[in-house]
Amino acid sequence: MKYAFLSDSHDNYENLIKALDKIKELGIKTVFHLGDICAPTVYFDIFKNYTDEMDFVLVFGNNDGEKVVWTKISMEDPKIDMAAGDFREYEIEGTKIFLTHYPQIAEIAALSKKYKATFHGHTHLAYSKKLDGVLLANPGEIAGTKTGKASFGIWDPDNNSFDISYL
Protein backbone atom coordinates (compact mmCIF):
# COMPACT_ATOMS: atom_id res chain seq x y z
CA MET A 1 0.00 0.00 0.00
CA LYS A 2 1.20 3.54 -0.78
CA TYR A 3 0.61 6.76 1.17
CA ALA A 4 0.29 10.40 0.08
CA PHE A 5 2.05 13.34 1.74
CA LEU A 6 1.08 16.99 1.35
CA SER A 7 2.42 20.16 2.91
CA ASP A 8 2.20 23.92 2.76
CA SER A 9 -1.25 24.35 1.22
CA HIS A 10 -1.53 27.94 2.46
CA ASP A 11 -5.23 28.17 1.61
CA ASN A 12 -4.77 27.16 -2.04
CA TYR A 13 -8.02 25.22 -2.18
CA GLU A 14 -7.91 24.68 -5.93
CA ASN A 15 -4.54 22.93 -5.82
CA LEU A 16 -5.55 20.90 -2.77
CA ILE A 17 -8.60 19.59 -4.60
CA LYS A 18 -6.49 18.78 -7.69
CA ALA A 19 -4.01 16.87 -5.51
CA LEU A 20 -6.73 14.97 -3.66
CA ASP A 21 -8.40 14.05 -6.96
CA LYS A 22 -5.08 12.65 -8.24
CA ILE A 23 -4.52 10.78 -4.98
CA LYS A 24 -8.03 9.34 -5.20
CA GLU A 25 -7.35 8.18 -8.79
CA LEU A 26 -4.23 6.39 -7.51
CA GLY A 27 -6.37 4.53 -4.97
CA ILE A 28 -4.42 5.85 -1.99
CA LYS A 29 -6.39 5.57 1.24
CA THR A 30 -4.30 7.60 3.72
CA VAL A 31 -3.18 11.20 3.24
CA PHE A 32 -0.73 12.96 5.55
CA HIS A 33 -0.57 16.75 5.67
CA LEU A 34 2.62 18.17 7.18
CA GLY A 35 1.45 21.63 8.22
CA ASP A 36 0.63 25.12 7.01
CA ILE A 37 -2.84 24.07 6.04
CA CYS A 38 -4.27 27.38 7.34
CA ALA A 39 -8.07 27.99 7.37
CA PRO A 40 -9.55 25.04 9.27
CA THR A 41 -13.25 25.30 8.43
CA VAL A 42 -12.72 25.46 4.66
CA TYR A 43 -10.23 22.59 4.76
CA PHE A 44 -12.52 20.52 6.92
CA ASP A 45 -15.21 20.88 4.25
CA ILE A 46 -12.75 19.87 1.52
CA PHE A 47 -11.36 16.90 3.47
CA LYS A 48 -14.91 15.85 4.37
CA ASN A 49 -15.66 15.45 0.64
CA TYR A 50 -12.99 12.72 0.47
CA THR A 51 -13.45 10.89 3.79
CA ASP A 52 -15.49 8.11 2.17
CA GLU A 53 -12.30 7.10 0.34
CA MET A 54 -9.48 8.49 2.51
CA ASP A 55 -8.27 9.06 6.04
CA PHE A 56 -6.33 12.23 6.87
CA VAL A 57 -3.47 12.53 9.38
CA LEU A 58 -2.34 16.10 10.07
CA VAL A 59 0.31 18.01 12.00
CA PHE A 60 0.45 21.73 12.65
CA GLY A 61 2.81 24.12 10.88
CA ASN A 62 3.96 27.62 11.78
CA ASN A 63 1.03 29.24 9.89
CA ASP A 64 -1.75 27.15 11.43
CA GLY A 65 -3.07 29.62 13.98
CA GLU A 66 -6.48 28.08 14.57
CA LYS A 67 -5.21 25.15 16.62
CA VAL A 68 -8.23 25.00 18.92
CA VAL A 69 -10.61 24.95 15.95
CA TRP A 70 -8.55 22.27 14.17
CA THR A 71 -8.53 20.15 17.31
CA LYS A 72 -12.31 20.44 17.71
CA ILE A 73 -12.85 19.57 14.04
CA SER A 74 -10.65 16.50 14.28
CA MET A 75 -12.59 15.34 17.33
CA GLU A 76 -15.82 15.49 15.29
CA ASP A 77 -14.63 13.20 12.49
CA PRO A 78 -12.59 10.03 13.12
CA LYS A 79 -11.31 10.15 9.52
CA ILE A 80 -9.49 13.46 10.20
CA ASP A 81 -6.74 12.97 12.77
CA MET A 82 -4.98 16.17 13.87
CA ALA A 83 -1.89 15.86 16.04
CA ALA A 84 -1.88 17.67 19.34
CA GLY A 85 1.30 19.50 18.37
CA ASP A 86 3.93 20.15 15.73
CA PHE A 87 5.17 16.58 15.40
CA ARG A 88 4.09 13.02 15.93
CA GLU A 89 5.09 9.41 15.65
CA TYR A 90 2.79 7.28 13.54
CA GLU A 91 2.71 3.56 12.92
CA ILE A 92 1.85 2.07 9.55
CA GLU A 93 1.82 -1.64 8.89
CA GLY A 94 3.96 -2.19 12.00
CA THR A 95 6.48 0.44 10.87
CA LYS A 96 7.14 3.68 12.74
CA ILE A 97 7.36 6.95 10.83
CA PHE A 98 7.84 10.51 12.06
CA LEU A 99 5.81 13.53 10.92
CA THR A 100 6.55 17.22 11.48
CA HIS A 101 6.45 20.52 9.68
CA TYR A 102 10.01 21.42 10.57
CA PRO A 103 13.10 20.11 8.70
CA GLN A 104 15.50 20.28 11.65
CA ILE A 105 13.20 18.18 13.83
CA ALA A 106 12.71 15.66 10.99
CA GLU A 107 16.47 15.35 10.49
CA ILE A 108 17.06 14.74 14.20
CA ALA A 109 14.32 12.10 14.16
CA ALA A 110 15.91 10.44 11.10
CA LEU A 111 19.35 10.39 12.72
CA SER A 112 17.86 8.71 15.80
CA LYS A 113 17.28 5.62 13.57
CA LYS A 114 14.06 5.00 15.49
CA TYR A 115 11.96 5.40 12.31
CA LYS A 116 11.88 3.90 8.84
CA ALA A 117 11.03 7.31 7.39
CA THR A 118 10.66 10.92 8.51
CA PHE A 119 8.65 13.56 6.68
CA HIS A 120 8.49 17.35 6.91
CA GLY A 121 7.32 20.47 5.07
CA HIS A 122 8.10 24.16 5.73
CA THR A 123 10.77 24.80 3.07
CA HIS A 124 8.37 24.23 0.14
CA LEU A 125 11.20 22.30 -1.58
CA ALA A 126 10.39 18.74 -2.65
CA TYR A 127 13.12 16.14 -2.11
CA SER A 128 13.95 12.79 -0.60
CA LYS A 129 17.22 11.35 0.62
CA LYS A 130 18.48 8.66 2.96
CA LEU A 131 20.32 9.37 6.21
CA ASP A 132 21.94 6.16 7.43
CA GLY A 133 19.18 4.16 5.74
CA VAL A 134 16.30 6.30 7.07
CA LEU A 135 14.22 8.15 4.49
CA LEU A 136 14.01 11.93 5.02
CA ALA A 137 11.50 13.54 2.66
CA ASN A 138 9.59 16.73 1.93
CA PRO A 139 6.64 16.63 -0.51
CA GLY A 140 7.12 20.28 -1.46
CA GLU A 141 4.19 22.65 -1.55
CA ILE A 142 0.58 22.32 -2.60
CA ALA A 143 0.32 26.13 -2.79
CA GLY A 144 2.90 26.38 -5.58
CA THR A 145 3.65 29.99 -4.65
CA LYS A 146 7.28 29.83 -3.51
CA THR A 147 8.69 27.42 -6.08
CA GLY A 148 6.13 27.85 -8.85
CA LYS A 149 5.51 24.09 -8.72
CA ALA A 150 2.64 22.55 -6.77
CA SER A 151 3.65 19.09 -5.59
CA PHE A 152 2.92 16.21 -3.26
CA GLY A 153 4.71 12.97 -2.46
CA ILE A 154 3.88 9.27 -2.60
CA TRP A 155 5.63 6.97 -0.13
CA ASP A 156 5.98 3.24 -0.75
CA PRO A 157 6.91 1.59 2.57
CA ASP A 158 7.79 -1.70 0.87
CA ASN A 159 10.92 -0.22 -0.71
CA ASN A 160 11.01 2.98 1.40
CA SER A 161 10.88 5.18 -1.69
CA PHE A 162 9.32 8.63 -2.07
CA ASP A 163 8.15 9.90 -5.45
CA ILE A 164 7.24 13.52 -6.11
CA SER A 165 4.11 14.25 -8.16
CA TYR A 166 3.43 17.65 -9.69
CA LEU A 167 0.05 19.19 -10.43
- 135 falls in which pLDDT band (50, 70, 90)? very high
What are the tens digits of pLDDT across the range 86-134? 899 999 989 999 999 999 999 999 999 999 999 999 999 999 999 999 9
77: exposed, middle or buried (Cβ count in 10 Å: 0-12, 13-18, 19+): middle
Report which listed range, 46-55, 65-74, 130-139, is most confident. 130-139
pLDDT for 14: 95
For the chain, what is the mean pLDDT? 93
Domain count, the chain: 1
Torsion angle in degrees (nearest 10) through CA of 82, 85, 86, 90: -60
- 63 falls in which pLDDT band (50, 70, 90)? confident
- Cα-to-chain-centroid distance, residue 70: 15
Burial 131-146 (b: 16+ CB within 10 A, else e): eeebbbbbbbbbbbee
Write out the residue range of the structural domain in which residue 123 sits. 3-166
What are the tens digits of pLDDT across the range 29-51? 999 999 998 877 777 789 889 99
What's the CATH code of the domain at 116?
Answer: 3.60.21.10
Find the mean pLDDT for residues 7-14: 94
